[in-house]
Amino acid sequence: MSGIGVLVILLFVSSVPAIAVLMWFRYARYPFSVLRFSVSLLAGAVSVFPALMLQSLFVARDGNIFVIAFIEEFSRLLILVMLLFAFYRLRSSGQPKTQTTISAETMAGSAGLIAGLGFAILESAVYGASNPVNALQRTFTTALLHGACGYRVGSSMAIFREHPVQAVFRFLTAVVIHSIYNYMLRIPGFIPSAAAILIALSALVTSVIAIRSGMNSASSNER
C-alpha cells in the first residue's frame, strides 16, 4: 500500500472517535453546537504545532516520556485557554443562552475531550508520514488517550479559580496517564500493548461518564 493510502487510512481511523462523540452529542441533544464542536476539534489540531516546537527545544534525542507528555498536555492547555475564553466572550456578547444550564466544568471538559481528538487526528498524520506502520498500529488508541487527557486538561481549567489544588492535580493526572501509556508502548510484547490500550480506554470511559453525568444533571435541574 502506498504512503498516501496509509495516511488516508490513518486519518479515517483517528477520526472515528470524534465522529462518534459528535453523533453522541447530537443524539442526546446536548447543548454543544456543531460550530463549537468544529472549533474545539480545530483548536486541538492546532495545539500539535506548539507541542512539536517545544519538544524540539526541550526533549533529548532519546526522549523523556514524562517531559513529552507534559509538553503535549501543556500545549493543549494553552490552546484551550484561548478557546474557552472565546466561548465565554461569544456567550456574553448577547448570544441567547440555552434552556439547559451546563456547568463550566462539564462544558470545558467536553471542549477538552474534542480538542484531544483533534490533536490525535493531526498527530496521526504527522507521525504517519514518517513511520506509517508504527502509526497504523497505535492510531486508534492514541485518539482515545488524547481525548481522555483533553477532558482532564479542559475541566481542570474550569475549576482552577475555586479549587486550584484540585485543578493542578487533575492536570497532572492527564500527564501521568499519558506518560504511562507512552511507557507501556515502549515495552515489547503483547501484554504491555494491551495494558496501554486498557489505560487509554478506561481513561476515556471515565471522561465520558463525567460529561454525561454533568449534562444529565443540568437537564434534570431545569425540569
Report the distance separating Cα 158 and Cα 164, nearest Å.
10
pLDDT confidence band for 1 (50 / 70 / 90): low
C-alpha distances in angstroms, 36 versus 59, 83, 105, 198, 212? Answer: 33, 10, 16, 30, 18
Average pLDDT, the chain: 84
C-alpha distances in angstroms, 101 versus 33, 36, 161? Answer: 14, 16, 20
Mean pLDDT of 215-219: 74
Q: What is the pLDDT of residue 93?
A: 53
The yes-or-no verdict on residue 92 having pLDDT over 70 is: no
Instruction: Give 19-67 pLDDT, tens digit per residue.
Output: 999 999 999 888 888 988 999 999 999 999 999 898 888 876 557 889 9
Domain residues for 70?
A: 3-221
- 81 compared with 149, residue with greater pLDDT: 149
Count: domains in the chain: 1
Instruction: Give 106-120 pLDDT, tens digit per residue.
Output: 999 999 999 999 999
Q: What is the pLDDT of residue 31?
A: 85
Instruction: Give 133-176 pLDDT, tens digit per residue.
Output: 666 666 778 889 999 999 999 999 999 999 999 999 999 999 99
